[in-house]
């Protein structure tokens, strides 16, 4: 099935073509940019200037290597242009709208009425994105010693790529071409047309209604945000719950929050067909347990998984193998061509900016300095930025079960934490898995308004092997929501008191009285 043309296939034109987007493009794909003459064999050539490519190229140049970076569209990749940055700006605005609308009932604030200005939300997002884009700009990278080549890269040999008719030879290369929204095989979908993360941030008018296919992190985040702006949102998925990869209890809390915010959940459904679209509303025919019904919406957003960008790269000429997940890599991120590595979303391991960053750092060490760093040693946390957020690090209960590791699990509700109650944000919990009978933290899931910001302590615990015993001895400021971590550690400590120790304490207090 043909996928709709994306902005990526054309000259960089970021819509709407306003002052902010012109500033963005001037930074990340400057009009009139002249590619440098290729230098002698580059020590490291990065294909793709998303997080993985940017970090590997600038890191290598900083160490004195001849480094090149090739980008066909916008430097900064998905994260800056159509991913983390615009989505989090939009989510922040949606939270503000929600707070304002609910503040009267919750906090006795003056009541508000009327609609907000969606166009202003999107303009704020574009302004901030343009401001942030300086960090990923072609000029900054060139000034840091990286040869920035704008154009489509294609391998023409195991040790060379071609860009704009010029051959760039390399000792080592890293494929960092990322991914894009996958199109599910639904009859009529391509003909109806739909938004993806590449086009949704171009909107300047709030659609009255929005259907979202895919209840993963991107689908849930955007469904909730658009519902909070006042669109009638329907979230569809074939799974019978949202966020299937998360702890079930954590996902259930987010599911309730979505429903409370007015998102209509059409879960466990099979989508039969899409009709309409192309300027008119779309109609989605769905079926569940033999019962058919339709969902009609002004716009349709598809957020049903990602697909690696591996096409037209000349990978055969380079001897680089791929599979469904993307480029096949070993534990050191090396592809089937020992000169070429892969990092970021295209390597098919994780799909997060911080993971792309961590993999790029590994590539520098392994590719240029005979490093032996392993991807399997990385501890990669993640967070879904719904309200409340779900943040996770390390093992889930099912991971431990699959690996035959015995664990103890502690769950601490957020309403045991004073600050969470005072903030009116007591919905959620912290769940910590420790090695059975020990304090070693193997994994943790936190559901809270700012779970992502609160997870750092647990990431340190999992990464550096800091146990709950040590965390229980760390003094946390009162009252903070992050006290939930210490409270869980204290609960673990109390549970550690064996009957014998309790007996000894009982004896001591009798003697001491």
Ligand X SMILES: Cc1cc2nc3c(=O)[nH]c(=O)nc-3n(C[C@H](O)[C@H](O)[C@H](O)COP(=O)(O)OP(=O)(O)OC[C@H]3O[C@@H](n4cnc5c(N)ncnc54)[C@H](O)[C@@H]3O)c2cc1C
Contact 385, 91 (CB under 8 A): yes
The one among 122, 333, 356, 412 contacting ligand X by CB under 6 A: 356
Which residues, 6 or more positions from 17, have their beta carbon under 8 angstroms from its beta carbon? none
Q: Could you tell me the two tokens for 159?
A: 């040790």
Find the binder of ligand X among 14, 24, 25, 49 (CB under 6 A). 49
* Residues 235 and 220: beta-carbon distance below 8 Å: yes
Token couple for 116:
């907000």
Per-residue x/- mask for ligand X, residues 485 to 504, rule CB under 6 A? Answer: --------------------
Site residues (CB under 6 A) for ligand X, limited to 362-401: 385
Q: How many CB atoms lie within 10 A of CB 371?
A: 14
Is 225:216 a contact under the CB 8 Å cutoff? Answer: no
- For ligand X, give the closer residue by CB, 299 or 486: 299
Q: Is the dihedral of CA 313, 319, 325, 330 positive or negative?
A: negative
Compute the least distance from the CB of residue 189 to ligand X, in Å: 18
- Binding marks (x or -) toward ligand X, 210..249, rule CB under 6 A? --------x-------------------------------
CB of 181 to ligand X, least distance (A): 7
- 38 belongs to the binding site for ligand X (CB under 6 A): no
Tokens 């989605």: give the residue: 284
- Applying CB under 6 A, among 140, 171, 307, 354 the residue interacting with ligand X is 354
Q: In the set 255, 322, 353, 481, which binds ligand X (CB under 6 A)?
A: 353
Please give the C-alpha separations between residue 424 and each of 27, 107, 155, 228, in angstroms, as whole numbers: 41, 9, 55, 18
Which one of 59-67, 73-81, 122-130, 226-234 is the stretch in contact with ligand X (CB under 6 A)?
73-81
Binding mask 84-123 for ligand X (x = CB under 6 A): x--xx-----------------------------------
Give the C-alpha separation, 94 to 109, whole Å: 18
Candidates 29, 43, 66, 72: give the one binding ligand X (CB under 6 A).
72
Question: What tokens does 422 get?
Answer: 């005072």
> Which of 133, 224, 351, 366 is the binder for ligand X (CB under 6 A)?
351
Q: Evaluate whether 260 touches 290 at the Cβ level (below 8 Å).
A: no
Q: How many residues bind ligand X (CB under 6 A)?
A: 39
Q: Which is nearer to ligand X, 283 or 351 (CB)?
A: 351
Residues between 138 and 197 that touch ligand X (CB under 6 A): 152-153, 176-179, 197
> Helix axis angle, 19-28 relative to 118-132, nearest 10°?
20
User: DSSP 3-state assignment of 484?
Assistant: helix
Q: Which is nearer to ligand X, 68 or 488 (CB)?
A: 68
Residue 464 Cα to chain centre, angstroms: 23
Task: Give residues 254-283 in contact with ligand X (rule: CB under 6 A).
Answer: none
78/285 with CB nearer ligand X: 78
Choose which of 43, 66, 73, 431 interacts with ligand X (CB under 6 A): 73
| Residue 272, φ and ψ in degrees, nearest 5 | -85, -40
Contact flag: residue 209 with ligand X (CB under 6 A): no
Q: What tokens appear for 108 in the block? A: 């006795």
**What's the DSSP call for residue 368?**
I
Separation between Cα atoms, residue 213 and residue 267, nearest integer Å:
10
- Compute the least distance from the CB of residue 304 to ligand X, in Å: 12
**Does position 454 bind ligand X by CB under 6 A?**
no
Binding site for ligand X (CB under 6 A): 8, 47-53, 70-74, 77-79, 83-84, 87-88, 152-153, 176-179, 197, 218, 309, 313, 344-346, 351-354, 356, 385
């Amino acid at each position: 099935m043909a996928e709709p043309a994306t902005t990526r296939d054309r000259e960089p034109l970021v819509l709407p073509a306003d002052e902010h987007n012109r500033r963005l493009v001037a930074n990340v794909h400057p009009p009139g940019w002249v590619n440098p003459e290729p230098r002698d064999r580059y020590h490291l050539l990065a294909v793709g200037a998303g997080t993985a490519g940017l970090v590997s190229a600038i890191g290598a140049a900083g160490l004195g290597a001849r480094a090149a970076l090739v980008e066909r569209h916008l430097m900064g990749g998905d994260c800056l242009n159509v991913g983390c940055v615009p989505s989090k700006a939009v989510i922040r605005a949606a939270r503000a709208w929600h707070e304002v609308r609910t503040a009267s009932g919750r906090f006795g604030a003056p009541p508000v009425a009327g609609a907000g200005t969606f166009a202003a939300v999107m303009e704020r997002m574009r302004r901030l994105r343009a401001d942030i884009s300086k960090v990923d700009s072609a000029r900054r990278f060139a000034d840091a010693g990286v040869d920035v080549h704008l154009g489509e890269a294609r391998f023409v040999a195991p040790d060379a790529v071609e860009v704009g008719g010029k051959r760039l030879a390399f000792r080592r290369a890293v494929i960092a071409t990322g991914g894009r929204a996958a199109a599910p095989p639904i009859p009529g979908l391509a003909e109806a047309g739909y938004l993806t993360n590449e086009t949704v941030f171009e909107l300047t008018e709030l659609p009255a209604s929005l259907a979202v296919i895919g209840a993963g992190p991107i689908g849930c985040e955007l469904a909730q945000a658009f519902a909070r702006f006042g669109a009638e949102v329907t979230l569809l998925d074939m799974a019978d719950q949202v966020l299937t990869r998360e702890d079930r209890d954590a996902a259930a809390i987010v599911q309730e929050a979505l429903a409370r915010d007015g998102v209509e959940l059409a879960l466990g459904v099979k989508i039969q067909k899409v009709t309409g679209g192309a300027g008119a509303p779309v109609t989605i025919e769905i079926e569940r347990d033999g019962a058919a019904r339709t969902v009609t919406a002004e716009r349709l957003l598809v957020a049903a998984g990602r697909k690696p960008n591996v096409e037209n790269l000349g990978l055969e000429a380079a001897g680089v193998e791929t599979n469904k997940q993307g480029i096949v890599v070993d534990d050191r991120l090396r592809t089937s061509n020992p000169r070429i590595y892969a990092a970021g979303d295209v390597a098919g391991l994780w799909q997060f900016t911080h993971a792309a960053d961590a993999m790029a750092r590994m590539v520098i060490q392994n590719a240029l300095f005979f490093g032996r760093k392993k991807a399997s040693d990385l501890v990669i946390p993640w967070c879904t930025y719904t309200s409340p957020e779900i943040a996770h690090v390390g093992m889930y209960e099912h991971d431990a079960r699959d690996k035959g590791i015995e664990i103890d699990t502690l769950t601490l509700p957020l309403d045991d934490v004073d600050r969470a109650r005072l903030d009116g944000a007591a919905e959620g919990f912290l769940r910590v898995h420790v090695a059975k009978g020990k304090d070693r933290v193997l994994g943790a899931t936190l559901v809270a308004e700012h779970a992502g910001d609160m997870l750092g302590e647990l990431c340190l615990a999992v990464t550096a092997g800091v146990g709950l015993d040590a965390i229980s001895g760390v003094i946390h400021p009162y009252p903070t929501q992050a006290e939930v971590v210490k409270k869980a550690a204290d609960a673990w400590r109390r549970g550690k008191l064996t009957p014998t120790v309790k007996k000894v304490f009982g004896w001591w207090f009798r003697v001491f009285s």
